[in-house]
């Protein structure tokens, strides 16, 4: 699905990004849109370190059920540890195109930052539709990387690093076609919203710094980007931050849809 291999170290780095204020706000908006009720059964596709699954488990309570599925064994283990005290939560290894669950068992399902890495979107949406009960809600969040805006004084170097970064996903502009694809898969789209990941400071506890560090570590050896060039690219942002000239903005898009019974 992705060019990343999420071992324990990579999983910890991703978890740190997921704990930044910007992603915390994203989870708040996801939960607000889902409106989970006590006793509901919900699926988290691409559950990662289990932060959203944990919050959803508290929302549905012990009479409900939360299942998390992720292709990374390290992520599955991390989610299980985070929710170890919640007996109504489980985590399984699996892919978005082959969900390890029977038909029509979930009241709601969430997929955040997953489908942009899945080659066969149609198959993934059909699987999503299959595991939901009639009238079940599906909430999808993905990024349009055409919205990425980063201030730099070296546009040529920026272009090379971003071209290298493009190799890590399959669908960099998925939100542009997601309304149509959801309808074709048998969903009625009920709500859409944009979620900005915006930082004007280069601080440790920001989405921007964590993502730029990830991008800098991914780029070397791709599209002619050398290790030293990637390091210089990342170092520029610290200087811009000190000068009050740092700027990073990227839009994610939320889609809430309902399975047509």
pLDDT, tens only, 93-122: 999 999 999 999 999 999 999 999 999 999
| H helical segments located in the chain | 8-18, 21-34, 51-60, 73-82, 121-131, 155-165, 175-184, 207-218, 227-242
Angle at 35 between CA 104 and CA 181, to 5 degrees: 55
**Domain ranges within the chain, ordered by starting residue:** 8-259
Q: Which one, of 96, 234, 112, lies nearest residue 165 by Cα? A: 234
pLDDT, tens only, 79-98: 999 999 999 999 999 999 99
E strand or H helix that includes residue 132? strand 132-143
Has this prediction a pTM greater than 0.75? yes
What's the CATH architecture for 8-259? 3-Layer(aba) Sandwich (3.40)
């Amino acid at each position: 699905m992705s060019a990343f291999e999420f071992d324990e170290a990579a999983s910890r780095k991703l978890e740190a990004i997921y704990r930044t204020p910007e992603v915390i706000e994203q989870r708040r908006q996801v939960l607000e849109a889902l409106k989970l009720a006590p006793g509901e059964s919900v699926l988290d596709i691409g559950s990662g370190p289990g932060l959203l699954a944990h919050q959803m488990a508290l929302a549905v309570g012990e009479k409900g059920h939360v299942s998390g599925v992720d292709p990374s064994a390290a992520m599955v283990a991390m989610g299980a540890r985070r929710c170890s005290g919640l007996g109504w939560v489980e985590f399984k290894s699996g892919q978005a195109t082959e969900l390890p669950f029977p038909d029509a068992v979930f009241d709601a399902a969430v997929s955040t930052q997953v489908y942009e890495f899945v080659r066969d979107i149609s198959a993934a949406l059909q699987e999503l539709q299959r595991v939901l009960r009639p009238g079940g809600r599906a909430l999808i969040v993905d990024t349009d990387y055409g919205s990425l805006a980063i201030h730099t004084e070296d546009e040529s170097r920026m272009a090379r690093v971003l071209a290298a970064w493009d190799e890590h996903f399959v669908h960099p502009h998925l939100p542009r076609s997601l309304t149509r694809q959801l309808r074709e898969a048998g969903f009625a789209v009920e709500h859409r919203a944009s979620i900005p990941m915006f930082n004007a400071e280069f601080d440790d506890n920001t989405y921007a710094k964590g993502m730029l560090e990830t991008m800098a570590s991914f780029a070397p050896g791709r599209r002619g980007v050398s290790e030293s060039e990637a390091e210089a690219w990342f170092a520029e942002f610290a200087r811009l931050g000190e000068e009050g000239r740092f700027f990073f903005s990227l839009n994610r898009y939320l889609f809430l849809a309902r399975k047509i019974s």
